Amino acid sequence: MDFNRKTPCVLLLTPPMVQLNTPYPATPVLAGFLKEHGVEAHQADLSLEVALRLFTPETVEEAVRRLPKGRVPRKLAGFAANARGYCDNVAPVVRFLQGAAPELAWRFSRPGALPEGPHFRELTPDEEGDPEETLLALCGPQGIEGRAKIRASLFLDDLAGYLSATLDPDFAFARYAEHLAVAAPSFDPILRRLEGPASYIDAILDDLVAEQLRRFHPDYVGVTVPFPGTVYGAFRIARAVRRLAPGVRTLLGGGYVNSELRDLTDERVFDYFDFISYDEGFAPLLGILGLGPRVRTRVRGTSPADVANGKCAGVAPEPCRVRVSDYTDLDLGRYLSLVETSNPMHRLWSDGRWLKVQLASGCYWHRCRFCDVALDYIGRYAMPDPRQAVDAMLAMRGATGIGAFHFTDEAVPPSLCRAISDEILARGEKIVWWGNIRFDKGFTPDLAARMAEAGCIAVTGGLECACDRLLALMDKGITCAGARAVCEAFADAGVLVHAYLMYDYPSETIAETIEALDFVRGLFADGCLQSAFWHRFALTVHSPLAARPPKGLVPGRPAKPRHGRFALNEISYTYAGGKAGEIIGKALSLATYNYMLGRGLDMPAKVWFANLRKGATWAGKP
Ligand code: SF4
């Protein structure tokens, strides 16, 4: 802590593990906001930093040293046999995926240039397939860089698996110790792990925190937790801050807090974090720093009711505007562009640097019965001025040199898409963007073409159960035919489409699920859907379904942990009509995985269900 400083210094940290190709948006947007208010703000992405420390020759050598003596388990045999290859290539692969050594494409594009472990099987579509033919078909004969990126990414995927097996079983790309925070009514498992022996990654993280404290001398350290796979890392960071700089105040916020920690009563959490802030972090941060009223913030001794409607309840939200994120402390050239799939839509999540922008607050529809519409981030909708939104995007491009944007809204409405597109075109700007929408009939062919002209390359949206009866039941406000028309409009405009799909909705029959898969297959076959993902239905406490369950659905009672509650979001339930088995989800994923690679599009959907029962593999032919 620096006692000569007049304004507080805030250090904002992203814990491990989140995506590695681009910064997670919370710290840049909050840093920009704090600087606007004259606060000294810094940030560090400890997710990227952990990954960059793991993917080094030294760490690989340590992993080799930890290989079991004598007979090596089968899953590590490839690593043991090619240890030198992994050691020698890890640093050049990282540099290449950071975009720093494009000439290495000529080397990595060649088969056998890198050790080829289990993930390289992805390149072989079936028993007869030739991996090189597959790559050539996917990237084209001139696609040297594309082929090299896929091989280099698969090399890191393999290595991540080997490091996890030798150094820290809780490590995976995009999550760390996730099991401790998924459906976690009690804080006990996290606490036990925090106070137990440090794992390999724990030690790296402790060291990184010490480094950041020495670098910035903050008065406050804020940590964001977007999802369960970052929660343990966030508490590990707070633990390190407590031990290294006990006078520094710690704060926690983010998506996991907003949806899972609203009913928190376990006071032991406050041994690690002084403040927990809910919903949009802007006003709570000012309150914590003494620059505004204390709002939507929990401290030791408060209760969930205090945040919901009591003494620290929210003030009226500011008018909606797009924030200019600040990337000053983040070296964007160190992020890794990973291409684990040839599917052009699917790779957008891991390839390339996208500046994340939230246009509107909340969801303009906010009616779906399975969705957390009772929460502020969905239920409170406000739209920005399109001119101000484009001004903010251009300011971010000016500061970073990057003109590629990912709109992270719950669902950008057609009217806002049109207004943003008109504004971009009126200014003659050349930028690229993609984001979440609803398959709303307002997305006409004319609007899709306008969006494409303004730089829209892809949209993602919820097609959910892809069944008219269920779409009506969940109040999704769309039909299959309407969604197909929207997908066709985007396809005709050259815009890629990804669909979020759901199965096992209460009352859904197996016949409806198979029909839904057939509908999805048709979209892929006709070129109006490029990628999709199936989620199993989950009942959450903040949804209308849990608040007013339909006949036959009985929500379970949440457990009551001895020391008070930690997280609460998804709840168990029984449904009189039964539930789909695991095999249904596997069949849906297997089919969709193949559709995304252009395979199996001429076969009826039911084949995948019958085939899986016979023991087919994920990448197998039906
Ligand atoms: S599921 Fe999507 S469209 Fe429906 S209310 Fe939630 S955010 Fe809005």
CA–centroid distance, residue 612 to ligand 1 (Å): 32
Residue 143 has pLDDT above 90, yes or no: no
User: Measured between alpha carbons, how far is 426 from 420 in angstroms, rounded to an integer?
Assistant: 10
CA–centroid distance, residue 466 to ligand 1 (Å): 15
Nearest CA to ligand 1 atom 4: 368
Residue 246 has pLDDT above 80, yes or no: yes
DSSP string, 396-411: HHHHHS--EEEE--S-
H-only helix segments in 349-440: 376-379, 386-400, 414-427
Ligand 1 pocket: which of 371, 377, 475 to mutate (most atoms within 8 A of CB): 371
CA–centroid distance, residue 366 to ligand 1 (Å): 5
Q: Are strands 404-407 and 456-464 parallel, antiparallel or unpaired?
A: unpaired
CA–centroid distance, residue 477 to ligand 1 (Å): 10
For residue 403, give both structure tokens: 């003109």
Tell which atom from ligand 1 comes closest to the C-alpha of 373: 5
Residue 62 main-chain phi, psi, to 5 deg: -65, -40
Q: Are strands 297-298 and 553-555 parallel, antiparallel or unpaired?
A: unpaired
pLDDT in tens, 469-513: 999 999 999 999 999 999 999 999 999 999 999 999 999 998 999
Sort 14 into a burial class: Cβ within 10 Å, 0-12 / 13-18 / 19+.
buried
Ligand 1 pocket: which of 372, 376, 378 to mutate (most atoms within 8 A of CB): 378
Please list, in sequence order, all residues whose beta carbon lies within 8 angstroms of the beta carbon of residue 304, skipping any fewer than 6 positions away. 262, 263, 264, 265
Tell which atom from ligand 1 comes closest to the C-alpha of 364: 8
Nearest CA to ligand 1 atom 6: 371
pLDDT for residue 609: 84
CA–centroid distance, residue 442 to ligand 1 (Å): 16
User: Measured between alpha carbons, how far is 564 from 268 in angstroms, rounded to an integer?
Assistant: 9
Ligand 1 pocket: which of 367, 460, 535, 542 to mutate (most atoms within 8 A of CB): 367
Question: With the C-alpha atoms ordered 160, 166, 172, 175, is the resulting torsion angle positive or negative?
Answer: negative
Tell which atom from ligand 1 comes closest to the C-alpha of 370: 1
Tell which atom from ligand 1 comes closest to the C-alpha of 372: 6
CA–centroid distance, residue 465 to ligand 1 (Å): 14
**Strand runs labelled E in 482-579:** 496-503, 531-536, 553-555, 573-575
For residue 122, give both structure tokens: 């992805």
pLDDT for residue 581: 72
CA–centroid distance, residue 20 to ligand 1 (Å): 27
Taking alpha carbons only, the member of 299, 305, 261, 254 closest to residue 280 is 254
Average the pLDDT over 40-57 and give the result.
Answer: 98
Tell which atom from ligand 1 comes closest to the C-alpha of 438: 3
CA–centroid distance, residue 550 to ligand 1 (Å): 19
Question: With the C-alpha atoms ordered 540, 557, 471, 381, is the resulting torsion angle positive or negative?
Answer: negative
- For all residues of the chain together, what is the average pLDDT? 92
Nearest CA to ligand 1 atom 7: 410
Region of poorest pLDDT, from 274-288, 305-319, 480-494 = 305-319
CA–centroid distance, residue 500 to ligand 1 (Å): 11
Amino acid identity, residue 306? D
User: Measured between alpha carbons, how far is 438 from 219 in angstroms, rounded to an integer?
Assistant: 42
pLDDT for residue 70: 84
CA–centroid distance, residue 94 to ligand 1 (Å): 38
- Please give the C-alpha separations between residue 93 and each of 153, 337, 432, in angstroms, as whole numbers: 8, 11, 27
Tell which atom from ligand 1 comes closest to the C-alpha of 378: 7
Taking alpha carbons only, the member of 580, 498, 566, 478 closest to residue 538 is 580
Residue 138 has pLDDT above 80, yes or no: no
Give the confidence band of 366 by pLDDT, cuts at 50, 70, 90. Answer: very high
CA–centroid distance, residue 540 to ligand 1 (Å): 14
Angle at 318 between CA 222 and CA 30, to 5 degrees: 25
CA–centroid distance, residue 591 to ligand 1 (Å): 26
Tell which atom from ligand 1 comes closest to the C-alpha of 363: 8
Ligand 1 pocket: which of 359, 361, 366, 369 to mutate (most atoms within 8 A of CB): 366
Tell which atom from ligand 1 comes closest to the C-alpha of 371: 6
Ligand 1 pocket: which of 358, 380, 438 to mutate (most atoms within 8 A of CB): 438
Greatest mean pLDDT range, 63-72, 336-345, 512-521? 512-521
In contact, 236 and 50? CB cutoff 8 Å:
no
Q: Whole-model pTM?
A: 0.94
CA–centroid distance, residue 482 to ligand 1 (Å): 17
Biggest CA–CA distance in the chain, Å, is: 72
pLDDT for residue 245: 98
Helix (H, G, I), strand (E, B) or coil at 456: strand
Average the pLDDT over 77-105 and give the result.
Answer: 97
User: Measured between alpha carbons, how far is 327 from 44 in angstroms, rounded to an integer?
Assistant: 10
Percentage of the chain beyond pLDDT 70 is 92
Tell which atom from ligand 1 comes closest to the C-alpha of 410: 7
CA–centroid distance, residue 438 to ligand 1 (Å): 8
Average the pLDDT over 8-28 and give the result.
Answer: 97
Ligand 1 pocket: which of 258, 410, 470, 473 to mutate (most atoms within 8 A of CB): 410
Average the pLDDT over 404-420 and give the result.
Answer: 98
pLDDT for residue 307: 85
Pocket of ligand 1 (CB under 6 A): 363, 365-368, 371, 373, 378, 410-411, 438, 462
pLDDT for residue 135: 61
Please list, in sequence order, all residues whose beta carbon lies within 8 angstroms of the beta carbon of residue 292, skipping any fewer than 6 positions away. 283, 286
Residue 234 has pLDDT above 70, yes or no: yes
Angle at 555 between CA 550 and CA 556, to 5 degrees: 165
pLDDT for residue 128: 47
CA–centroid distance, residue 378 to ligand 1 (Å): 7
Give the confidence band of 620 by pLDDT, cuts at 50, 70, 90. Answer: very low
Ligand 1 pocket: which of 258, 358, 359, 363 to mutate (most atoms within 8 A of CB): 363
CA–centroid distance, residue 476 to ligand 1 (Å): 8
In contact, 342 and 410? CB cutoff 8 Å:
no
Average the pLDDT over 297-315 and give the result.
Answer: 77
Please list, in sequence order, all residues whose beta carbon lies within 8 angstroms of the beta carbon of residue 110, skipping any fewer than 6 positions away. none
CA–centroid distance, residue 226 to ligand 1 (Å): 18
Nearest CA to ligand 1 atom 5: 366
User: Measured between alpha carbons, how far is 594 from 184 in angstroms, rounded to an integer?
Assistant: 34
In contact, 171 and 236? CB cutoff 8 Å:
no
